[in-house]
């Protein structure tokens, strides 16, 4: 059993979201000295990826995102399926190519971690083929620089 301490950090969301429920996203982190390492794949936050190092502030017992300190080299994309029959095929392709993913409370929405070693051009070309057929849509939440 993993007993390492994990802390949820509140990230405010920017942009046009569905309703008032989506003003923030809570993301798991692991304390690393004075910093915190992102420990799950963000679904809505932009500019943050799995493994990134951040600083936080504490307000009324809640940890809040302050600043990105160090990029991990990982990228984050979100995949929304319009045709559920293709979920297994696409997610297996992503896994076979070194990506990891998390499902959301929305059955057709997935957050995908793309490690730096993965050929993102090849991956996006694969997804573009499905997007052109209206099978899915994907969005780049954080692309490593």
DSSP the chain: ---S--EEEEEE--S--SSGGGSEEEEEEEEETTEEEE-S--SS-SS--TT-EEEEEEETTEEEEEEEEE--S-EEEEEEESSGGGHHHHHHHHHHTT-EEEE-SSTTEEEEEE-TTS-HHHHHHHHHHHHHTTSEEEEEEE---
Is 143 a residue whose pLDDT tops 60?
A: yes
Where do you find CATH 3.30.70.600 in the chain?
A: 75-142
What CATH architecture applies to the domain 75-142? 2-Layer Sandwich (3.30)
* pLDDT, position 15: 65
For the segment 45-87, what is each residue's pLDDT rounded down to a tens digit? 999 999 999 999 998 889 999 999 999 999 999 999 999 999 9
For the segment 80-125, what is each residue's pLDDT rounded down to a tens digit? 999 999 999 999 999 999 999 999 988 999 999 999 999 999 999 9
Give the pTM.
Answer: 0.89
């Amino acid at each position: 059993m993993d007993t390492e301490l994990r802390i949820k950090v509140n990230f405010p969301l920017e942009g046009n979201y569905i309703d008032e429920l989506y003003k923030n996203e809570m993301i798991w982190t692991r304390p690393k000295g004075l910093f915190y390492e992102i420990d799950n794949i963000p679904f809505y936050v932009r500019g943050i990826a799995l493994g990134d190092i951040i600083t936080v502030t504490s307000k009324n017992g809640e940890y809040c995102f302050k600043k990105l300190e160090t990029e991990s080299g990982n990228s984050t994309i979100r995949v929304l399926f319009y045709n559920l029959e293709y979920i297994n095929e696409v997610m297996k392709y992503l896994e076979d190519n070194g990506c990891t993913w998390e499902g959301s409370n929305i059955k057709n929405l997935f957050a995908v971690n793309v490690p730096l070693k993965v050929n993102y051009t090849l991956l996006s070309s694969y997804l573009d083929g499905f997007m052109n057929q209206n099978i899915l849509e994907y969005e780049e939440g954080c692309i490593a620089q």
